[in-house]
Amino acid sequence: MSTAEPDNALTLPDDITETVATALAEDIGDGDRNAVVVDEDSAATARVVAREACVLAGAAWFEAVFTQLDDRCRVTWHYHDGDSLKPDTIICEVRGPARSLLTGERTALNFLQLLSGVASDTRRFVDRVKGTRVRILDTRKTLPGLRSAQKYAVRCGGGINHRFGLFDGILIKENHIAAAGSIANAVSRAREAHPELMLQVEVENLNELDEALAADADSVLLDNFPSHILSRAVNKCRRHLLPNRRSVISEASGDISLRNIRDYADTEVDRISIGGLTKNVTATDFSMRLQMD
């Protein structure tokens, strides 16, 4: 049985149909040459098993593979995205034409193993910082074409999403600063063009932090700060009040792992962003076993 109800934070992205269609076209091309091993009118039931402990993510993509192949396919789920699974757990059954089940198997499992891998890794980081104020964030370091899916998987693991892309938030990084001439110039120009957007500045030392605070950045990304220096930076952010009387949001990044993340979280930084959640993905092991009806 399911161990959790779907959460409102797990709102599905609106590009699942297109993403799945692209993946199926990539795999099938002009036809599945393997499917002829079973009769066209044969029906089957397949069980999908999680072979290792994980956090489930990707059910909608998995299901869309089979419904796009054949609307007679039906998936019965025993768990929800975001649920923690033990090894050898049966997560669902798929019933339908045997040829469709065989054709969709690899593509469906690819989505499930990738997204569950992202969710599982995220959950490990979230669990490691329990009891602190910090929230775990993703970044734009995603697999091309799968950003919305991977960011959804991060939410399944208990993380939160940073900006989706270049259009819905401003992050001024070292190359922007070099091009604009200074942090102050970069912030001023960005504010003038897009006053409605959250503006964050990446800084690499306390002097740059002072410049970003003086420019009234909404948030600072404290990149590769040792934890003892990060504590000083976080205190500076808390003391600096923006025109709306709120303190600057502090975010740490760079060379943060499960081994050292607790040290960073204990500085009381607001957020920690980890590119590896979506960039260095270890797929979860799932299998699908077919039985003819």
Catalytic one of 81, 202, 208, 211: 202
**Which is the catalytic residue, given 211, 218, 223, 251?**
223
Question: Which residue matches tokens 């993510």?
Answer: 57
Distance, CA of 240 to CA of 210 (rounded, Å): 10
Q: How far are the Cα atoms of 62, 154, 192 from residue 110, in angstroms, in the given order?
A: 8, 17, 44
CB 28 within 8 A of CB 22: no
Q: Choose, from 106, 133, 238, 289, the residue flagged as catalytic.
A: 106
151 is catalytic: no
Residue closest to 190 by CA, chosen among 207, 182, 223 = 182
Catalytic option among 140, 141, 189, 262: 141
Active site residue 259: no
Does the annotation count 106 as an active-site position? yes
CB 90 within 8 A of CB 48: yes
Q: Known catalytic residue: 279? A: no
Marked catalytic residue, from 47, 51, 140, 173:
173
Tokens for 3, please give them. Answer: 């161990």
Helix 206-214 to helix 183-193 angle, to the nearest 10 degrees?
40
**33 belongs to the catalytic site:** no
Q: Give CA 290 to chain center in angstroms.
A: 31
Tell me which residues are annotated as active site: 106, 141, 173, 202, 223
